[in-house]
Amino acid sequence: GNKSQDSGIAEMEELPVPHNIKISNITCDSFKISWDMNSKSKDRITHYFIDLNKKENKNSNKFKHKDVPTKLVAKAVPLPMTVRGHWFLSPRTEYTVAVQTASKQVDGDYVVSEWSEIIEFCTADYSKVHLTQLLEKAEVIAGRMLKLSVFYRNQHKEYFDYIREHHGNAMQPSVKDNSGSHGSPISGKLEGIFFSCNTEFNTGKPPQDSPYGRYRFEIAAEKLFNPNTNLYFGDFYCMYTAYHYVILVIAPVGSPGDEFCKQRLPQLNIKDNKFLTCDEEDGVMVYYHAQDVILEVIYTDPVDLSLGTVAEITGHQLMSLSTANAKKDPSCKTCNISVGR
């Protein structure tokens, strides 16, 4: 009878608690996790329980994911273990993670260890692979190409006065806001100046309305976009609207902006792409833009006001079209890819 008592006591031995947790190979929607544990009772472990939570941000909607289980039950595989797909991990988001070891009993219940310490980590931005998927989705809806001759930037009169007084007449690059895809590697990092280039279908000229102020700087297209610049695809998004935005980056070859983009963004052929092209026809540079998306062009170097003209526009200020810090619609089938939201 001693044997059964012994096995009873062995049953009660506690499972090892994971410690020294390490997170590695972090992408926008996966990570690898490993930890140490003492070898005592190690062979009884059949499963790992992983508790993953978004780090609560004071402004986040606390009720949104209340009913979503955050615990992953995984078979005890050799470590490190890759975690992906069980959750919709969001890119560029802070998470907390804790682990316990478990032993599945004959009756289907689990005996579990204590929880490990809680570790924090942050998921990564979209990689070039993810951006290329976004690019391919954007190409589908870009529409036919229309001619353009100028890039333009709308601001308030005060902005242009300030540039003349404090910046020696040159508009300066500033850090891009957080509008667009949550995983975008340019948000909060790339410095540039926003320009528009969309034209009105009937006139071939820039629209007279703008959400960004009644004064418009206009510059001939070839002064910003030419064979000495590289063109990159930056993002594709919508904001719960019928129309979609594509962000492109124009960077003078070899500039800091160019180096930044080369490592992170898909590069486009300036003569042949679905969004914005420049090519020589009969000795003259000719420019085209996609008709069915709204292009937001970021130019990564300072631009002197003397290279163009500043004038007041006659149309309205349509605030509803502003994209400042706009959040992307995560449910839109057209502009989302299946990785982390």
At 316, the pLDDT band (50, 70, 90 cuts) reads low
User: Do 205 and 301 share a domain, yes or no?
Assistant: yes
Q: Hey, what are 280's tokens?
A: 């020589």
For residue 166, report the phi and psi dihedrals to the nearest 5 degrees: -105, -15
Q: Hey, what are 117's tokens?
A: 């310490």
Instruction: Evaluate whether residue 143 is within a structural domain.
Output: yes
Tell me which H or E stretch contains 21: strand 19-24
Instruction: Evaluate whether residue 181 is within a structural domain.
Output: yes
Average pLDDT score over residue span 38-61: 78
User: Do 95 and 139 share a domain, yes or no?
Assistant: no
How does the average pLDDT of the chain come out, rounded? Answer: 85
For tokens 């994971």, what's the residue?
18
Burial class (CB in 10 A: 0-12, 13-18, 19+), 58: exposed
Q: Hey, what are 103's tokens?
A: 């032993």
Burial class (CB in 10 A: 0-12, 13-18, 19+), 146: middle
User: Do 166 and 63 share a domain, yes or no?
Assistant: no
For tokens 């970021």, what's the residue?
298
DSSP symbols for 81-103: EEEESSS-PPTT-EEEEEEEEEE
Give, as one character, the DSSP assignment of residue 271: T
Is pLDDT at 8 greater than 80 in this prediction? no
At 57, the pLDDT band (50, 70, 90 cuts) reads low
Q: What is the pTM of this model?
A: 0.81
Is pLDDT at 321 greater than 60 in this prediction? no
At 59, the pLDDT band (50, 70, 90 cuts) reads low
| Confidence (pLDDT) at 323 | 63
| Confidence (pLDDT) at 141 | 93
Is pLDDT at 320 greater than 60 in this prediction? no
> Which residue, among 278, 334, 333, has the nearest Cα to 139 in the 3D structure?
334
The CATH number for 40's domain is 2.60.40.10
Question: Rounded to an integer, what distance in angstroms lies between the CA atom of residue 300 and that of residue 292?
Answer: 25
- Parent domain of 52: 19-123
Q: Hey, what are 80's tokens?
A: 């490190």
Is pLDDT at 209 greater than 80 in this prediction? no
| Confidence (pLDDT) at 64 | 45
What does the pLDDT look like over 62-80, one tens digit per residue?
A: 444 444 456 788 888 889 9
User: How would you label 6-29 residue by residue, b for 16+ Cβ within 10 Å and e otherwise?
Assistant: eeeeeeeeebbbbeebebeeebbb
Q: Where are the alpha helices (DSSP H) in the chain?
A: 2-12, 128-141, 157-166, 221-224, 256-264
Any idea of the CA torsion for 174, 178, 182, 186, to the nearest 10 degrees?
0
Is pLDDT at 10 greater than 60 in this prediction? no
| 165-174, 184-193, 196-205, 302-311: segment of lowest average pLDDT | 196-205
Average pLDDT score over residue span 195-219: 81
User: Do 202 and 225 share a domain, yes or no?
Assistant: yes
> Which of 73, 100, 123 is a domain's end point?
123
Instruction: Evaluate whether residue 155 is within a structural domain.
Output: yes
Instruction: Evaluate whether residue 308 is within a structural domain.
Output: yes
Question: Rounded to an integer, what distance in angstroms lies between the CA atom of residue 240 and that of residue 233?
Answer: 22
Burial class (CB in 10 A: 0-12, 13-18, 19+), 283: exposed
| Confidence (pLDDT) at 330 | 80
Instruction: Evaluate whether residue 337 is within a structural domain.
Output: no
User: Do 278 and 213 share a domain, yes or no?
Assistant: yes
Instruction: Evaluate whether residue 9 is within a structural domain.
Output: no
Is pLDDT at 315 greater than 80 in this prediction? no
> Which of 73, 102, 123 is a domain's end point?
123
What does the pLDDT look like over 24-33, one tens digit per residue?
A: 999 888 899 9
Structural domain count of the chain? 2
Is pLDDT at 3 greater than 50 in this prediction? no
Average pLDDT score over residue span 193-213: 80
Is pLDDT at 203 greater than 80 in this prediction? no
| Confidence (pLDDT) at 161 | 94
Tell me which H or E stretch contains 69: none
User: Do 116 and 214 share a domain, yes or no?
Assistant: no
Instruction: Evaluate whether residue 37 is within a structural domain.
Output: yes
Contact 191, 257 (CB under 8 A): yes
Is pLDDT at 83 greater than 80 in this prediction? yes
Question: Rounded to an integer, what distance in angstroms lies between the CA atom of residue 325 and that of residue 219?
Answer: 26
More confident residue, 318 or 65: 318
Number of CB atoms found within 10 A of residue 128's CB: 15
User: Do 84 and 227 share a domain, yes or no?
Assistant: no
Q: What percentage of the chain carries pLDDT values higher than 70?
A: 87
User: Do 24 and 54 share a domain, yes or no?
Assistant: yes
Q: Hey, what are 284's tokens?
A: 């003259």
User: Do 97 and 241 share a domain, yes or no?
Assistant: no
DSSP symbols for 197-250: ----TTTSS--S--SS-SEEEEEEHHHHSSTTEEEEEEEEE-SSSSS-EEEEEE
C-alpha neighbours within 13 Å on the C-beta side of residue 79:
16
Is pLDDT at 6 greater than 80 in this prediction? no
| Confidence (pLDDT) at 267 | 97
Q: Report CA torsion sign: 307, 312, 318, 324.
A: positive
User: Do 158 and 96 share a domain, yes or no?
Assistant: no
Average pLDDT score over residue span 128-150: 93
What does the pLDDT look like over 211-231, one tens digit per residue?
A: 777 899 999 999 999 999 999
User: Do 132 and 91 share a domain, yes or no?
Assistant: no
Is pLDDT at 61 greater than 80 in this prediction? no
User: Do 67 and 165 share a domain, yes or no?
Assistant: no
Instruction: Evaluate whether residue 335 is within a structural domain.
Output: no
> Which of 93, 123, 153 is a domain's end point?
123
What does the pLDDT look like over 271-283, one tens digit per residue?
A: 999 999 999 888 8
